[in-house]
Amino acid sequence: MIRLRDVQKSFGAAENAAPVLSVRSLVVARGERVALMGESGSGKTTILNLVGGLLTPDAGSVEVAGSDLATLSEAARDRFRARHVGYLFQTFHLLDGWTARENVELGASFTGRRAEAGRAEALLREVGLGERLGHWPRQLSVGQQARVALARALINKPEVLLADEPTGALDHANGATVLRTILDSARVAGSTVLCATHDPEVAAAFDRVVRVEDLR
């Protein structure tokens, strides 16, 4: 489902480019749930952004669900991500002027179609927010915002779910809820999961742990 080969990524102008990532090979099988670990600045988020099509490599290939994202235009990558990838960002990216339910439904609009009737509400109830459907993000706790963002990532039943430090800003109870929902939803849907985390306890819940330094 996910295959990175001989990937290189740098940031900055050509003459001052700073290498941030080198991956010789990373393979994640369909339906596998993998935790990606490494020191801060090791490139965990960069790998997620490459797999999600938010970045392109300077060299190498990034194959996801049969498509090499490195060969696609930006517009084509956007369409691919909307149809195949769910992304739980570390900073949530909820829209302040939209309710919890509207933020979740927004995830479906990126594909050019409406969400299945009742799916947003069902997902919010699944993460314990059935009584918060009409609340604005500012009316929700950090843990509740994280669960709204997770519901949005799941709205399109993605083949690939990416999660960037999904428990990093949460207390133990909320972190456990988000982690359990990620793993349970992936198992039911058969989704492939790639999760960046610095927490060994979180990593231990996944099928396999990959360290970024071992990919070089």
List the structure tokens of 39: 């020191």
Number of structural domains (the chain) is 1
pLDDT of residue 12: 80
| Residue 12 forms part of a structural domain | no
What global pTM score does this model have?
0.93
Q: With 70 as the cut, is the pLDDT of residue 111 above it?
A: no
Q: With 70 as the cut, is the pLDDT of residue 160 above it?
A: yes
- The rounded distance, in Å, linking the Cα atoms of 29 and 33 is 9
pLDDT in tens, 77-106: 999 998 999 999 999 999 999 999 999 998
Hey, is 108 helix, strand or coil?
helix
Range in 25-34, 105-114, 124-133, 197-206 the model is least confident about: 105-114
Q: What is the mean pLDDT of the chain?
A: 92
* Whether 158 contacts 84, CB under 8 Å: yes
Q: How sure is the predictor about 19, in pLDDT bands with cuts at 50, 70 and 90?
A: confident
Average pLDDT for 127-148: 95
Helix axes 119-126, 100-109, angle to 10 degrees: 120
pLDDT of residue 17: 74
| Residue 100 forms part of a structural domain | yes
What are the beta bridge partners of residue 36? 196, 210
pLDDT of residue 103: 95
What is the CATH classification number for the domain harbouring 104? 3.40.50.300
* Whether 215 contacts 183, CB under 8 Å: no
pLDDT of residue 108: 82
| Residue 164 forms part of a structural domain | yes
| Residue 80 forms part of a structural domain | yes
Per cent of the chain over pLDDT 70 is 95
| Residue 38 forms part of a structural domain | yes
Closest CA to 191 of 143, 145, 154: 154
